Amino acid sequence: PKLKISMEEFKRIILNQKVPVALCLVAVMGLPDCNKTSILESILRENIKLKETATRNFEEYMTRKKNPDGLSIYELCVLGGKPYDQYSWSFATEQYGAIFSILCGLVRHIALAKSDIKRVEFLSDGHVSQNKLVDHHFKLLMGKAAKQLKDISMDEKKEALFLNGLTLANIMDVGVNKALYDFLPIMLSFCRGHLRLVFFSLERDGPKLDEVPDLSADHYSRRGDNRLALTMRSRLNCILHFATLGHNPKQKEDDSKRTLVVASSNSQSVVAGFSSQLHKAATDKIQEEAEKLNIKKFVSNVALVSINDADSLKKAKEEITKFIMKEQIFQKTLPLKWIFLHSFMVSVQQKEGAMKAIILKKREVYDYAAKELRMDEEDFENFLVTFTDFGSILYMPQFRDLRDIVVVDIWEFVQFLNELIYPKKEKKWYKDLTTYGIIKISDASEILKKHMEIFIKIIITFGMAAFISKEKAFLNGRFLTEVCYYLPSARIDKKSPSGHSNDYAFLKIESPNFPANIQASISHEIMKRQNFYLIGNESFDTSQFGYCTPSGCPIQITMVYGGSQTKLILHINDACTGMHHCVSACKGVIEACCDSLDKISNQIQYLKYSIGIPCSAVDGDSHLFNFKDDSDLCQACIRSIDSTISCHKYWIEAAKMCNKGSKTRMSESTYGLKTKLLEKDAHISKLMKKKSQLLEMITSLKKQLTKETRSVKVQSNYLMRLMDDLECLSDVQVAEKKLFLIQGDKPQLMNWEKYGLRIGVQEGSLLSSETVEAAVVALVGGQFEFPPNTVLVSAVYAVSLSKPLLKRLKLEIQHCIDLTGRPDLAQCLKFAIAPMSTPSLPYLFKLVEGGEFSSKSGYGFIQPKGKEDKELIDENSILDDSGSIASPLVSAVAAFKSMDQTELLDKPASTESHEVHSTGMKEATNYAGLIYYEEKHAEDLVTFIAAKKLDALLQFIEGKHSKAEMGPNVYFRIASPFIELNLNAPQKKSFKGWTIEPHTEPCKLFQRDIFNFGDKDYSLPPSCLISVYSSPDAVPTLHYSVPVEGVADPVTLNIHRSRRTAHLTAVAASGSDEATPAPTKIGREGGIDIKTARQKIKEVMNKNHSNYADILESSLNEIANKLFEAGIITRQVQKSPTYESITSSFLSVMNLLDSKSDLEKHCMKYLEALFSIGGPIEFVANHLREKWTAALEGALQFEHESN
């Protein structure tokens, strides 16, 4: 059939369709002059074939975002994928990434409509948004998509590639560049979907892996690139650094598979001879060093390629191409509205003219997304994280100061960074910046213009610059009277002279991932402390500081950066300077070093650092500070300290005074590790506490625990482990999670009818003394694929048990088919299951026998068959190491016996009986209509939503409208392809003075959209929005009837509204932006709504997040120990505590509580844990208690014992 797609229909597809997209960022890095760019461009030229009619040639596409001396980005779109492994490469510039993504959605939409792409007609009439830019962008994308669709209509192979999905890849070629080496480690830590392609030259670097890289060429010295952190490390260290850059040990998949190391050669043949031997020797050397650092898996394969050997080059191209496309490990299902939003952001950014909008405020983007694309905050947050994963944008919520900004163009951002680090000679700030690394705020504003404030905030947070207040920079014999910034990487002068005596302290860094240059970050922390000022220094590896003493005696501290070891040298110019002033200066520097590296360690994995002094004995070893005493010093050092000329004593005394009592010799702040001795002591202590807790728990369970009065502590202790069994689920919409207890040998029924599920436990399933925990998840949508000729008629459920039962469970699942008077339809209903652990999406369901469906209820039940030796464990179940069981996904489907053809829910009745024989299932499907009222300024917003009559779906919808007033529900069956709200029907009662205005005309909801809500391509329920206004002289109450047409039995909605009071009308007329409070919903327990109470508790914590985090982060280990004892956090969180992980654990458990008493107990356990620590932490606890009490208006009691 011919298919017409109007602008409105095109927008509907954008808002509702999802497409399978693999996203990846390929970071191409390497040592200088390793031929990586030549090899990379050769691969792109071979894979990308432009059309003869292309408006740009290949070179124009290649140079669009190219900087040979810095960062080059190639934006690619690759069509195709599994199962055929056929691909078509193209550039994704000029919105073609968005266009191809939309085409993928359109091709799928056309296939579902049983049409042909040759018979599709696009109608670009009308408008879809009042925003001219948005409306224009919809038309622009539809026009380009229509043109491309016409082109592929002549190529069936291309159409098949679109059906298989696409890959959006950003390939970043990283050149030798001081700015990039500071920026790259932080950026990649946020871009989780990245691959690392690491090059080195076999002939230049292979024999000299223990030496520093060769940067002697003129073009390196001319730009000052030979003044790099890269020259402070060996070639081998640099290769391992690149190979693990951005690695996150917490990722589920094996991150080592994301690294490919390539040795490039100039040899004519690499099959045998010298090149082969050199390659083996280099590989062995790299892997030997990697094994020492426990990162050998990242360099397990070192490929060899010669740019002069055609066969070798071809093989390497295939290997690198396969590496980029392999298994599409970053496969996701993206809503098309995300693609549209990113495309629109890029479009707006390009229209800014000479000064592009490279950085946007998060709130500004969200306001647009919520209004135009119906995205809630969670959806918007997922969009930002996903597009950051593959380097399309940069969103950094882990940094508190950067949570409200988004970098929308990384390449342009780096160009501005280059202007700071590589200033042009004719600029007035060139001399100060390249000589001393200092630039005034007024000069920085000329470079960065409107982005100056935010841009500087980003690079300071990244540790690339330091903020210098007025009168705190001493340059050319005077203090600068203007705010300025310190960028030590911008200096191009020589290194500081060597030959320092051993009268210094040092900062030692041991890590395969090393910060490029720590001078800026440490300087920033030093300059935040009183009495310190910066002294201009010309050596690129040196930063110098002055310390003002009350007596005026000058103290200077010099920091000489040396790669893995940085020297801290104290200069006392006046012998009369008091010891306590010297110690205070040293203490400030030590604390600044620790604070700086603690922040960096959140982004750079495996980072270890220590502070110490060199031994005074001949050939003596170093002595590391333990921040407690000097007991580890040798006799030679003790004698040296007694000398009046040694500064070691000041550093040692300063270390004792530092508030670093929890620090150890090697501070591994990323993981919070302690020394072996402290670790053993802590482990023994935890075991003893755990033993005591288990004994108490067993006693309590035997005497008191029942299903109705289960304790919050038991829930929190088991919740994470059981829910972990369900964490493998991806790309699903979760309606709710629930924890049940199964106790003893008696039969039990776990009733979760609120979400359409009942679970029966047979007698004798457990021993009388046993207790098993069951975690249940209800899903209302996801990447599900069902057998041919079947449709989903229930929600999908997954169950996890803490241990196997002796007998099978009985699952009862709600369906939406009305079997009343139709007992023959029961034979068309089947149960289907799918394994939860699947190598790739979608989840493939298969039918199972044995289910029963009664016409007397809306539930069907089944007892899944098991294996011979373990009845419970289905062949699709998961049995983990702890013995817990995760069941397969279970659902009910309607199977159509219709000559192997699927009955289309929205297809008109066929006139030819032999085409499709209806089973009557369409007519028997029950639907529900829900009405919500929200007050919005001068209007009442009425929302009508339709969905299958399934409690899980209806609860999911209600949760999305928790703050709205709910009207009466209506239930119906559909008798046509769509239902329509008739807003022009005759009215029995007067509605004088009232205006009823729909947002879309006509108000139609199509049956296919209603039925498919929850499917992978239908993430939102279809709805109609209606605005209701009243004039001052309107009748007091509106009773407006709205017949629903297209249903089997007559159904009429009634809109009931009361005229606004004079006060509210005046407020609305004044144009205030403050939203009118939503109607209060009366809850089920004690006059409070538990869901609202949970939300208010969460809002209080979110609102005060930054203030609480600043205080609590100083005592995280102690807080984590207390909360672990209280059963609020898991052992994993206790080992590596952050404020975010602690609050997340607290809120995750809270979301499962549905009674007032349980909620009060859970909150009080959290507060009591904080109260017990005392000091500022106790103040936080008291402040949080007061805020909770005020927000809940005293509905919950949070009284502390001391009160």
Residue 702 has pLDDT above 70, yes or no: no
pLDDT at 381: 92
pLDDT in tens, 523-544: 999 999 989 999 999 988 899 9
Average pLDDT for 658-679? 42
pLDDT at 740: 83
More confident residue, 183 or 1068: 183
pLDDT in tens, 477-529: 899 999 999 999 999 877 777 666 778 899 988 777 777 778 999 999 999 99
pLDDT in tens, 941-958: 999 999 999 988 888 888
CA distances 852 to 798, 860, 1085, Å, are: 19, 6, 36
* CA atoms of 842 and 787, how far apart (whole Å): 12
Whole-number mean pLDDT of the chain? 79
Residue 31 has pLDDT above 50, yes or no: yes
pLDDT in tens, 580-622: 888 999 999 999 998 888 887 766 666 778 888 888 776 667 7
The SS3 assignment for 799 reads strand
Share of the chain above pLDDT 70, in %: 80
Residue 670 has pLDDT above 60, yes or no: no
Is-contact 313 38, C-beta < 8 A? no
Domain ranges of the chain: 3-331, 338-398+406-412, 423-657, 705-895, 922-1069, 1090-1191
The number of beta carbons lying within 10 Å of the beta carbon of residue 501 is 10
pLDDT in tens, 923-934: 889 999 999 988
Banded model confidence at residue 122, pLDDT cuts 50, 70, 90: confident
* CA atoms of 885 and 404, how far apart (whole Å): 42
pLDDT in tens, 269-288: 666 567 788 899 999 999 99
* CA atoms of 1149 and 75, how far apart (whole Å): 42
- The fold adopted by the segment(s) 922-1069 is Immunoglobulin-like (2.60.40)
Tokens 């489907």, residue located? 893
Q: Domain 705-895: give its CATH architecture.
A: Sandwich (2.60)
pLDDT in tens, 61-90: 888 888 888 899 998 888 865 544 566 788
Average pLDDT for 1019-1028? 88
Q: Which two tokens stand for residue 334?
A: 């993206």
pLDDT at 627: 56
Is-contact 743 707, C-beta < 8 A? yes
Banded model confidence at residue 98, pLDDT cuts 50, 70, 90: confident
Residue 571 has pLDDT above 50, yes or no: yes
The number of beta carbons lying within 10 Å of the beta carbon of residue 252 is 8
More confident residue, 644 or 1053: 1053
The number of beta carbons lying within 10 Å of the beta carbon of residue 576 is 7
Beta bridge partners of 859: 814
Q: Is the pTM value of this prediction over 0.75?
A: no
Residue 719 has pLDDT above 80, yes or no: no
Q: Give kind and range of the element (H or E) at residue 1115.
A: none
pLDDT at 1109: 82
Backbone angles phi, psi at 860, to 5 degrees: -120, 155
More confident residue, 1171 or 855: 1171
Residue 145 has pLDDT above 50, yes or no: yes
Backbone angles phi, psi at 685, to 5 degrees: -60, -45
pLDDT at 864: 67
Residue 334 has pLDDT above 80, yes or no: yes
Radius of gyration of the chain (CA): 34
CA 646 to chain centre: 51
Banded model confidence at residue 380, pLDDT cuts 50, 70, 90: very high
Average pLDDT for 190-218? 89
Question: Which value, to the nearest 10 degrees, does the dihedral of the CA atoms of residues 279, 284, 290, 296 take?
Answer: 90
* CA atoms of 887 and 833, how far apart (whole Å): 9
CA 921 to chain centre: 41
pLDDT at 980: 94
Is-contact 90 76, C-beta < 8 A? yes
Is-contact 778 799, C-beta < 8 A? no
Nearest of 935, 937, 940 to residue 963 by alpha carbon: 935
pLDDT at 673: 39
Residue 876 identity (one-letter amino acid)? N
Nearest of 664, 589, 672 to residue 625 by alpha carbon: 664
Tokens 């009042």, residue located? 130
3-state percent helix, strand, coil for the chain, nearest multiple of 5: 40, 25, 40
pLDDT at 733: 83
Average pLDDT for 620-634? 66
The number of beta carbons lying within 10 Å of the beta carbon of residue 833 is 22
**What DSSP string describes 557-580?**
EEEE--TTEEEEEEEES-TT--HH
Residue 630 has pLDDT above 60, yes or no: no
User: Angle CA(941)–CA(1053)–CA(752) in degrees, nearest 5?
Assistant: 85
pLDDT in tens, 220-272: 777 778 766 567 889 999 999 999 888 766 554 556 678 899 999 888 766 65
Residue 708 has pLDDT above 90, yes or no: no
* CA atoms of 271 and 1150, how far apart (whole Å): 63
CA distances 1200 to 594, 1171, 1178, Å, are: 36, 8, 11
**What DSSP string describes 337-380?**
HHHHHHHHHHHHHHTTTTS---EEEHHHHHHHHHHHH---HHHH
**What DSSP string describes 636-661?**
HHHHHHHSTT-SHHHHHHHHHHSS-T
Residue 352 has pLDDT above 50, yes or no: no
pLDDT at 620: 61
pLDDT in tens, 874-899: 334 433 333 345 556 777 676 554 33
DSSP E strand boundaries for 842-908: 843-844, 846-848, 852-853, 859-862, 878-879, 885-886, 889-895
Q: Which two tokens stand for residue 550?
A: 């009350």
Q: Which two tokens stand for residue 233?
A: 């490390």
pLDDT at 602: 66
Residue 11 has pLDDT above 60, yes or no: yes
Residue 1 has pLDDT above 80, yes or no: no
Residue 1201: is it exposed, middle or buried by C-beta count within 10 angstroms (0-12/13-18/19+)? exposed
* CA atoms of 402 and 365, how far apart (whole Å): 15
Q: How many residues does the chain have?
A: 1203
Residue 669 has pLDDT above 70, yes or no: no
* CA atoms of 629 and 834, how far apart (whole Å): 61
